[in-house]
Amino acid sequence: MTAQTLNIGFAPLTDCASLVVARERGIFAQNGLDVSLRRFVSWAAMRDALGSGVIDAAHMLSPMVVASAARLGPFPGDFTTAFTMNLNGNAITVSNALHEEMRQRAPDLMEELPLTARALKRVIQQRQAEGGAPLTLAHVYPQSMHSYELRFWLAEAGIDPDRDLNLVVVPPSLTVDALSTGHIDGYCVGEPWNSAAVVGGLGRTLITSGEIWSNGPEKVLAVRKSWASDHHDTHLALIASLSEASKWLDDVANRQTAARMIAAPEYVNTAYDEIVSSLTGVGVQTGGHLRLKMPDFNVFHRYAANFPWRSHAKWILSQMVRWGEVPETVDVESVAENAFRPDIYCEAVKALDVACPVSDQKVEGAHQHAWLMETQSQPIACSADRFLDGKPFDPARFSDYVSGFDIRRGEDRLGESDRSQVADLGK
Amino acid sequence: MATSLASGAGANRGAQVNVNSSDVPLRVLIIDDDPERIKLVEEGLAANAVVHTASRTHGRLLLDMISRIGPDVIIMDCNSPDRDTIESLRLVARSNPKPIVMFVEEEGGDRMQDAIDAGVSAYVIDGLMPRRVRPLIDTAIARFRHMDGLRSELQKTKDDLAARKVIERAKGLLMQHHGMTEDQAFSSMRKMSQQQGKPIKDVASNVITILEMLANKAGELPE
């Protein structure tokens, strides 16, 4: 049998790990796949390459797939995913100067854990009162978990992310530079870019994404819908390979080996030291001054991590509606069904020793602690899915959830072209 | 060899774009690290343009630079890390997105045709020769304006339709609650619109608000 040749795009971030492991450990080859990995340094470029067929699959921001299903931006309706590559993995880091300013303005609030943005709000109020310069925070792409997590964290403390400060998009590899030169005051990015600032003594990590939403989806394996139906068996083999790689990767004993693999020049191309703490979860900075053991900083397989929950897709969509990117009239069910395909995932892992949840949705934020999910085969040990604000997200009460946020936007945030595109294609 | 791809990332209302006009120099911003490509574009544009180069300017500084220069067109590499920053421009209503010409690798270049539907305004398969630069940019700008025109036309049609619905509803309420004929209802609103110097749609929505408020109030009280 000749191997199926596949081109897969990836971004040089720690969470591309399962792709690298599947290739380096020969798992793709065992599943009859000949995979070339292509590095992209721009999410828009990766999206266009996937949409136009230059690549077959992509290590993609989960909200990019939801955006496509919600017909927001280019390639409306074209993308789907049947595999979540990882949970958590991002963090918010600020410059030493801003950290110091927060400590001076609100020493009491800086002792919180998880650290909310209340101290930051004091800084903003003080600066507004004194006519000082507004803060500038960065994320990596408008439709990214980084953007929604940063906005969620700010708004939870009463900071309006569109009015009280500047939010800009900065490429991940340039965030540390921008922080050290003072062009930005902080950012929400994936690894290794938080560790790089901490290791380099340039900034402090205030909160990790797992503390904003425990075990939220980060990257997914995105494919074109048309490709998924034309290459069903190849798609299944790809998912089975990544499931196996993710399982290997989730074993703590393998994380250091994995860190060496992905730090290599052809992948993330960074120092082992900058990648290892987030991967092993040992000595992860949070709260601005603590180094904690956070074994769940990156989750690749356990807790049914690879299952594409439609409730995850709906939460992402809820933030798109909240921030005025998608109209309130959006067909929530249809977007979730088109974006996330748990049925394909379950078909792909059927032959493996991997249990599948029996429902494709759950109330997110209903579990404050570890819990056991019953399935038709063995039960799955799951972990918390709580939100920083303590409010659960019931996917059946989508509109109530969105209207329950004090700080949100109407459709006025969108540019003209996006608005007409959404209105046009959203029918 | 590179193919070139031009994209418009959004609306461009009110921007001064100088297509086919040689007396006003074109303002061009090149975001590129490749000195040869920068030179090639500069040569191709010769004296007809003011060329700004951003090779080590990123993120917020890049956005500041764009708003300071107000380029007529941005030229950049398709896989530049700055692409996501440029892309975010169109999500900010107050910003004024520009036509973008992109260098793409030859591989898959023909398939990037699909990207035209994704907001791209011109597309050329050719090695980039200096003499091709200006026509390419002019095509990109013209295409961008054309797409933008279609978009604003569509928006206007939608706005008109929405306005008509509001006016119809207000007419209905006036007829129902004040015994006016359709003509009377419309001309009274038009008169008010002229007197107040407000669009008739705004007058109509005020009428709806007030009449509904009165109707609700009347409903609360026992007869």
pLDDT level of residue A414 (50, 70, 90 thresholds): low
Out of A52, A166, A418, closest to residue B114 by CB: A52
How many domains, chain A?
2
Helices (H), A38-117: 43-51, 62-69, 96-105
Answer yes or no: do B119 and A74 touch at CB < 8 A: yes
* pLDDT at residue B123, rounded to an integer: 47
Longest pairwise C-alpha distance within chain A: 71
Spell out which residues of chain A touch residue B58, defining contact as CB-CB under 8 Å: 170-171, 174, 177-178
What is d(CA B70, CA B46) in angstroms, rounded to the nearest whole number?
20
Contact present, A244 and A22 (Cβ < 8 Å)? yes
Q: Which CATH number is A242's domain given?
A: 3.40.190.10
Task: Examine the domain organization and report whether A227 and A350 are in the same domain.
Answer: yes
Task: Examine the domain organization and report whether A8 and A121 are in the same domain.
Answer: no
Q: How far is A181 from chain B (nearest CA, A)?
A: 11
What is d(CA A61, CA A89) in angstroms, rounded to the nearest whole number?
12
**In this structure, is residue A138 part of a structural domain?**
yes
pLDDT level of residue B50 (50, 70, 90 thresholds): confident
DSSP annotation string for A120-171: HHHHHHHHHHHT-PPPEEEES-SSSHHHHHHHHHHHHTT--TTTTSEEEE--
How large is the average pLDDT for residues A384-395? 97
What is the per-residue pLDDT across A260-278, written as a single tens digit (0 to 9) for each? 999 999 999 998 988 898 8
**In this structure, is residue A331 part of a structural domain?**
yes
Quick check: A420 pLDDT over 50?
no
Quick check: B125 pLDDT over 50?
no
Out of B63, B112, B151, closest to residue A168 by CB: B63
Contact present, A317 and A326 (Cβ < 8 Å)? yes
Listed by number, the residues of chain A in 310-329 with a beta carbon closer than 8 Å to a beta carbon of chain B are: 325
What ipTM is given for this predicted complex? 0.82
Proportion of chain A above pLDDT 70, given as a percent: 96
Quick check: A164 pLDDT over 90?
yes
Task: Examine the domain organization and report whether A78 and A176 are in the same domain.
Answer: no
What is the per-residue pLDDT across B132-191, written as a single tens digit (0 to 9) for each? 788 878 877 887 777 777 767 777 888 888 888 999 999 999 998 888 999 999 999 999
Cα four-point dihedral sign B194, B198, B201, B205: negative
Contact present, B50 and B107 (Cβ < 8 Å)? no
Of A194, A142, A196, A192, which Cα lies nearest the Cα of A170? A142
Spell out which residues of chain A touch residue B119, defining contact as CB-CB under 8 Å: 74, 417
Task: Examine the domain organization and report whether A336 and A232 are in the same domain.
Answer: yes
For B79, the closest chain A residue by CA position comes to: A45
**In this structure, is residue A48 part of a structural domain?**
yes
Pairing of strands A290-292, A79-84: unpaired
Contact present, A29 and A244 (Cβ < 8 Å)? no
Contact present, A243 and A237 (Cβ < 8 Å)? no
Task: Examine the domain organization and report whether A154 and A264 are in the same domain.
Answer: no
Total CB pairs under 8 A between chain A and B: 131
Pairing of strands B26-31, A79-84: unpaired
Q: Hey, what amino acid is at B149?
A: G
Task: Examine the domain organization and report whether A149 and A245 are in the same domain.
Answer: no
Of B130, B131, B119, which Cα lies nearest the Cα of B89? B119
Q: Name the one residue in this structure whose structure tokens are 């974006």.
A: A339
Out of B58, B113, B119, closest to residue A417 by CB: B119
* Residue where one domain finishes, among candidates A175, A197, A212: A212
* pLDDT at residue B107, rounded to an integer: 55
Spell out which residues of chain B touch residue A148, defining contact as CB-CB under 8 Å: none
What is the per-residue pLDDT across A188-211, written as a single tens digit (0 to 9) for each? 999 999 999 998 999 999 999 999
Answer yes or no: do A168 and B88 touch at CB < 8 A: yes
* pLDDT at residue B124, rounded to an integer: 47
Residue range(s) defining the domain that contains residue A234: 4-87+218-271+305-354+395-403
Q: Name the one residue in this structure whose structure tokens are 């939460």.
A: A315
Answer yes or no: do B58 and A174 touch at CB < 8 A: yes
Return phi, psi of residue A305, to 5°.
Answer: -60, -35
Other beta carbons less than 10 A from residue B116's beta carbon: 17
Quick check: B93 pLDDT over 50?
no
Is A108 strand, coil or helix?
coil
Cα four-point dihedral sign B30, B35, B40, B46: positive
What is d(CA A97, CA A36) in angstroms, rounded to the nearest whole number?
43
Is A365 strand, coil or helix?
coil
**In this structure, is residue A246 part of a structural domain?**
yes
As given in the structure block, the two tokens for residue A215 are 């075990």
Q: Is A48 on the interface with B (CB under 8 A)?
A: yes
What is the per-residue pLDDT across B3-46, written as a single tens digit (0 to 9) for each? 444 444 443 333 444 444 456 788 989 888 888 878 888 888 87
Provide the β-strand partners of residue B76: B31, B102
Spell out which residues of chain A touch residue B83, defining contact as CB-CB under 8 Å: 42, 44-45
Q: How far is A105 from chain B (nearest CA, A)?
A: 26
- Tell me the CA end-to-end span of chain A in Å, nearest whole number: 45
Contact present, A140 and A189 (Cβ < 8 Å)? yes
Residue A62, C-beta contacts closer than 8 angstroms, at least 6 positions apart: A81, A84, A145, A217, A218, A219, A220, A312, A313, A316
Site from A10, A417, A422 to mutate, B interface, most B CB atoms within 10 angstroms: A417
As given in the structure block, the two tokens for residue B7 are 């994209």
As given in the structure block, the two tokens for residue A380 are 């799955």
Answer yes or no: do B79 and A74 touch at CB < 8 A: no
* pLDDT at residue B117, rounded to an integer: 42
Task: Examine the domain organization and report whether A266 and A166 are in the same domain.
Answer: no
> Mean pLDDT in chain A?
92
Answer yes or no: do B80 and A418 touch at CB < 8 A: no
What is the per-residue pLDDT across B98-119, written as a single tens digit (0 to 9) for each? 777 777 765 555 556 555 444 4
Average the pLDDT over each of A228-232, B60-64, B86-90 and give the range with the smallest value.
Answer: B86-90
Q: How far is A223 from chain B (nearest CA, A)?
A: 16
The rounded radius of gyration (Å) of the Cα atoms in chain B is 25
As given in the structure block, the two tokens for residue A272 are 């082992």
Task: Examine the domain organization and report whether A267 and A399 are in the same domain.
Answer: yes
Quick check: A180 pLDDT over 80?
yes
Task: Examine the domain organization and report whether A199 and A343 are in the same domain.
Answer: no
* pLDDT at residue A2, rounded to an integer: 67
Task: Examine the domain organization and report whether A117 and A172 are in the same domain.
Answer: yes
**In this structure, is residue A312 part of a structural domain?**
yes
* pLDDT at residue B2, rounded to an integer: 40
* pLDDT at residue A234, rounded to an integer: 97
What is d(CA A324, CA A335) in angstroms, rounded to the nearest whole number?
16
**In this structure, is residue A298 part of a structural domain?**
no
Spell out which residues of chain A touch residue B88, defining contact as CB-CB under 8 Å: 141-142, 168-169
Provide the β-strand partners of residue A220: A60, A84
Q: Is A166 on the interface with B (CB under 8 A)?
A: yes
Q: Name the one residue in this structure whose structure tokens are 């056991």.
A: A372
Of A10, A25, A426, A6, which Cα lies nearest the Cα of A248? A25
Answer yes or no: do A420 and B95 touch at CB < 8 A: no
Torsion of CA B162, B168, B170, B175, to 10 degrees: 180
Show the beta-strand stretches assigned E in A229-317. 284-286, 290-292, 298-299
Q: Is A186 on the interface with B (CB under 8 A)?
A: no
Quick check: A418 pLDDT over 90?
no
* Residue where one domain finishes, among candidates A193, A212, A231: A212
Average the pLDDT over each of A94-98, A151-155, B200-204 and give the range with the smallest value.
Answer: B200-204
* pLDDT at residue B72, rounded to an integer: 87
What is d(CA B157, CA A9) in angstroms, rounded to the nearest whole number?
40
**In this structure, is residue A163 part of a structural domain?**
yes
Task: Examine the domain organization and report whether A184 and A142 are in the same domain.
Answer: yes
Task: Examine the domain organization and report whether A174 and A185 are in the same domain.
Answer: yes
Give chain B's contact residues with A (Cβ, < 8 Å): 9-11, 13, 58-61, 63, 78-85, 87-93, 95, 97, 107-108, 111-115, 117-119, 148, 151-152, 154-155, 158
Which structural domains are found in chain B, ordered by start? 2-153 (3.40.50.2300), 158-220 (1.10.10.10)
Return phi, psi of residue B147, to 5°.
Answer: -60, -40
- Tell me whether the omega of the peptide bond preceding residue A114 falls within 30 degrees of 0, making it cis: yes
- Tell me whether the omega of the peptide bond preceding residue A192 falls within 30 degrees of 0, making it cis: yes
Q: How far is B176 from chain A (nearest CA, A)?
A: 30
* pLDDT at residue A220, rounded to an integer: 98
As given in the structure block, the two tokens for residue B205 are 């929505």
What is the per-residue pLDDT across A232-263, written as a single tens digit (0 to 9) for each? 999 999 999 999 999 999 998 999 999 999 99
Site from B7, B65, B79, B161 to mutate, A interface, most A CB atoms within 10 angstroms: B79
As given in the structure block, the two tokens for residue B158 are 């939608």
**In this structure, is residue A124 part of a structural domain?**
yes
